[in-house]
Each structure stands twice: as structure tokens, then as C-alpha cells.
């Protein structure tokens, strides 16, 4: 195998793992805030 294949694989794994971490952070931090805002809006606008 060519040596650039290993570097490509490592880069791909880094990119995928960082995407997973960012996705989990967004799901834990931003989406709960949006649902709390939506609940408050529903209670204030019957």
C-alpha cells in the first residue's frame, strides 16, 4: 500500500470522530434550549 493511505485513514477517523463529538454537544446543549423555549412559547400563547 502507498504511505498516503494511512494518513488518509487517520484524517478520516479524526474527521468522523470530531463530527460525532460536535453532534453530541449540539444535541445536549442547543436542542434542550430550543425545546424549553418552545414550551414557554406554547404556555404564553394558548
Residue pLDDT, tens place only, 3-35 = 677 878 999 999 999 999 999 998 888 877 777
What is the per-residue pLDDT for 21? 97
Is 8 or 1 the better-scoring residue by pLDDT?
8
Gap between the Cα atoms of 11 and 33, Å rounded? 33
What is the per-residue pLDDT for 46? 55
Indicate whether 38 pLDDT > 80: no
Gap between the Cα atoms of 41 and 33, Å rounded? 12
State how far Cα 43 lies from the chain centre. Answer: 29
Query: What does pTM read for this prediction?
Result: 0.59
Helices (H) and strands (E) in the chain, counts: 1, 0
What are the angstrom distances between the C-alpha of 5 and each of 9, 11, 31?
Answer: 6, 10, 37
- Is the alpha carbon torsion for 16, 22, 24, 26 positive or negative? negative
What is the per-residue pLDDT for 43? 60
Amino acid at each position: 500500500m502507498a504511505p498516503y493511505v494511512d494518513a488518509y485513514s487517520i484524517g478520516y477517523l479524526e474527521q468522523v470522530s470530531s463530527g460525532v463529538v460536535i453532534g453530541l454537544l449540539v444535541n445536549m446543549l442547543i436542542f434542550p434550549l430550543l425545546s424549553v423555549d418552545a414550551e414557554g412559547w406554547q404556555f404564553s400563547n394558548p
